[in-house]
Amino acid sequence: METTEIVNIAANALYDKKAEDILALDVRNLTVITDVMLIASGRNPLQIKALAEEVDDKLAQAGVPLIRKDGHQDARWIVLDYGVMLVHLFHTQEREFYRLDKLWEHDGNRMPLSFEREEA
């Protein structure tokens, strides 16, 4: 499965569960740890856990295995590692503090997501 397909499956799962500020960044030219960072926010720990579970369920159905998960206990910042993509799910306060999107966004590396085309 292509990386773009994996990103869109995860992003659509987040969109369907009402995640906020969903952003995908192509970071292949910036780091060796992953190709894409998918970043989104949730309003509370319960929603953030639900977002993580939904992404994992949808990607598992598509045959994309989860390599590692971290932060699920506190659910203020959950990271899901799929090799080609890291999914960062933040509580809004943590996202504002860590500003990963500002750290990794460079030279137009923002990826278009399928639900954005539907809204336009």
Which tokens sit at 85? 């993509």
Q: From residue 68, give the alpha-carbon distance in Å to each of 44, 80, 104, 106.
A: 22, 6, 21, 26
Task: Indicate the pLDDT class of residue 72, thresholds 50, 70 and 90.
Answer: confident
Domain boundaries, the chain: 3-114
User: pLDDT for 58-67, tens place per residue?
Assistant: 999 999 999 9
Secondary structure of 13-57 in the HEC alphabet? HHHHCCCEEEEEEECCCCCCCCCEEEEEEECCHHHHHHHHHHHHH
Per-residue pLDDT for 95 more than 90? yes
More confident residue, 102 or 57: 57
- Model confidence, pTM: 0.92
Of the given ranges (14-23, 37-46, 88-97, 104-113), which has the lowest mean pLDDT?
104-113
Average pLDDT over residues 8-29: 96
User: pLDDT for 22-71, tens place per residue?
Assistant: 999 999 999 999 999 999 999 999 999 999 999 999 999 999 999 999 99
73: Cα separation from own chain's centroid? 18
Mean pLDDT of the chain: 93
Residue 83: predicted pLDDT: 96
CATH number of 3-114: 3.30.460.10
